[in-house]
Structures are given as structure tokens and as C-alpha cells.
Amino acid sequence: MTGMLTSEELERYARHIVLREVGGPGQAALKAARVLVIGAGGLGAPALMYLAAAGIGTLGVVDDDEVSLSNLQRQVIHATPDVGRPKVDSAADKILALNPHVTLRTHAVRLNAANVREIFGGYDVIVDGSDNFSTRYLVSDACYLAKKTLVAGALGVFDASLTTIRAHEANAEGVLNPTYRCLFPEAPPPGTVPSCEEAGVLGALAGVLGSMMALEAIREIVGFGESLVGRLVMIDARAMRFETLRYARDPSNPLNGDAPTIIDLSAHQ
């Protein structure tokens, strides 16, 4: 399998290749993988950098925003001269400077029900670094309908969480895996959860979670360790404490439950 890698790539990824859990076959799998990162912000910035550094063959980024000065406290893929530029363009420059072997695709659009299926079609793994509930539910529903693996991270003020969702697949017992809606049945009412602009966000915590999202995507692609499917990692930055809880499929969930009511994305129009 290392034959798929050039001599320059073998040197670039040498520290991966000597890992027994990755090796040449794992690095070749990373090169063959197609990963989409939603958002080039606090979570997407470190996730994109580490996925690019790891040698993901095709890396996509979707974001319709421009770089602002207040982004730079945490969105480390952008720099001061990038203020005012589209985030996908700024991110593209850094990614290709870091690793020219990556095929980069930029989507300078806001993800919605009309474009999500077409955009997702070009990728195997979706890494959701979005910062609002409407996008998270859209992404999770679309991943289920399109049979895509979803790595979902969420950032609070001093807390963060991470899980992986493969709700279109069954576990070893033949039971379908849980959905995002099994974990969070419905979004909180508008206005009850303050935005990061209102509540603030700790820059380094975004870096921790974004890096963990990249790590989880790499684990899913290479296939080592225990998956985060059905497990939620929670980070408490005040106490520097990590906890993991297990969650299961809710038979009454509207997506892959016993009587599903979500069969398309019309509810997100």
C-alpha cells in the first residue's frame, strides 16, 4: 500500500507510518479519503490544519463568512493580513502552504437544504464545526440520508463535547446506531443559548476540540481504537476534566426510529 505514496510523502508522513496502528496502509487510506469540514472558524481552523498535515487526500471546507479581527483570537488558520478576505480563501492558502499534496475544494456558500446533498456527495466523512443548532440538525439529518460518517463537535463557554454518528449503520447486535436527535431530541428555543459573540469563547478550548475532531476523523478513516459512535466526550475546561458517557438509539427518534417521520430535508427549507 505504501506504493501509493511518493518518496516525498513517505518522508512527510514518516511519523505516521512508523505507528503500528497507522502504517503504510493507514496513510494510504488517509490519502484516499475525502473529508468535508463545515466552518473555517474556531473548530474548523485547527481541524483543517491537522487533517491537511495528516495527508487527507481530498479536503473540503464550506464557509460563507469573511475573516474579521475578532476571529483571530481562536481561528488560527487565518492571520492579520487576511481580515476582510473570504475564510475559505484564507484557509486554502494556509492548507496548500502546509501540504501541497492535499486536493482542496472550497465551498463559499452557506449550507442549506437546497445545496447540502450535492455538496456532501463528494465526501466520505463530514466534520461539523458549525456554531448554530439549525446547521447541526441539517447536517446530521443530511448525513443520515446520504449515509455519511459525521464527526460532530460543539463548543460552549468553558465546555465542549464530541461524538461520532453513523446512524445509517447497525451495531454488532444488529441495532441501528443512535442519531444526533437521540442525544439532543430538539434544539433549545431561540435566544436561550447565547452565541459566542454574546457569551465569549476561550480560544485555546476551540483549538483542543478542533484538534480532537481531526483526530476522530483520522481514527474513523484508519480504523483504530474504540469508535465514538454511541459515546459523547465532554470537556470541562474550568476543572480540566474529561468525561465520556454512552448513549443509545432512541426508538422514538424521528430519523431512524421505529416510525421515522424525517424522510427528506423538507423540514429544513
Domain limits, the chain = 13-268
Q: CA-to-CA distance for 123 and 82, rounded, in angstroms?
A: 27
Range 13-268 has CATH code 3.30.390.50: no
Asked whether the beta carbons of 220 and 164 are under 8 A apart, the reply is yes
pLDDT in tens, 159-189: 999 999 999 999 989 999 999 999 998 877 7
pTM: 0.96
Q: CA-to-CA distance for 82 and 94, rounded, in angstroms?
A: 11
pLDDT in tens, 92-137: 999 999 999 999 999 999 999 999 999 999 999 999 999 888 999 9
Q: CA-to-CA distance for 72 and 69, rounded, in angstroms?
A: 6
Q: CA-to-CA distance for 237 and 52, rounded, in angstroms?
A: 27
Is residue 66 exposed (0-12), middle (13-18) or buried (19+ Cβ within 10 Å)?
Answer: middle
